[in-house]
Amino acid sequence: MMNRFPMTLILALGAALSGPMFADELPEARALIDRYIEEIGGREAVLAQTDSTMTGRFSMPAAGMEGTLVVASRAPAERVTRISLPGMGEILSGYSRDVTWSMDPFTGPRLIEGDELQFQAEQSEPGAILRDPAYVESAETVGTAQVNGQDCFRVRLRWKSGRETFDCYATASGLLVGMESTQPSPMGDVQAVMSVDEYRRFDGMLVPAITRVEVMGQTQLLEIDKVAFGTPDDSFFARPAAIEGLIDQRNAK
């Protein structure tokens, strides 16, 4: 499963993944992507995870911060993420083709638009998760790298939105182990580097149980304990009143 966490969770600064290798020794990018999809369960399994509920934990160990994490998804491409942090409140975000939003104790309620909205679509739409040509202009294997002690092939993706990102697929297992990109945020564009680890099988599908992000010297951990496939209850997708108010204001304009 490609990583699908919202922008509020993954602001990160880090060194770019890199490594030299002669071009004629590198496998085709599409072959690497297709192998990864097959390794985790196949295309149909990836599409099936659009109806699921993921539960786990969010933490920043150095800050002594830890809370619960819930990500609810339903077809065709809708997702709500809720992080509950004791003593701080909730970090909420939601993506759909109609409205994309976020709300947290730091920035308050926001409707996501422009480049941020395009980024969310590339993290949430099933075709984008599969790196389909409808979303990706080109994919090229550009070198090798090492992530979490694993050698990997580094693939440059040029999206039809104009963005450029990089995936890293383990040479031994074929699994996705790293991603990097320039991501839009309320503070401007930031460089983000993530690694995923400890793939576990849930109902026949391999899912990375740990997403690790370095944020300005801090480590963020997203740990998945359970994935339940099937359409979540409608209550997961009810938008906060503050977000509904912003939608009404936008519609009035």
Note the pLDDT tens digit of each residue in 54-64.
Answer: 999 999 888 88
pLDDT of 120-133, one tens digit each?
A: 888 888 888 899 99
Q: Which helix (H) or strand (E) holds 38?
A: helix 29-40
Instruction: Report pLDDT digits (tens) over 205-238.
Output: 899 999 998 766 678 899 999 999 999 999 999 9
User: Structural domain boundaries of the chain?
Assistant: 7-252
Examine the pLDDT at 1 and tell me if it is beyond 60: no
Angle subtended at Cα 108 by Cα 105 and Cα 112, rounded to the nearest 5 degrees: 130
Q: Which CATH fold would you assign to the domain 7-252? A: outer membrane lipoprotein receptor (LolB), chain A (2.50.20)
- Give the rounded percent of residues in the chain with a pLDDT score beyond 90: 60
Res 188: pLDDT: 64
pLDDT of residue 119: 83
pLDDT at 12 over 80: no
Neighbours of 234 (CB within 10 A): 8
Higher pLDDT, 4 or 184: 184
Evaluate whether 194 touches 209 at the Cβ level (below 8 Å).
no
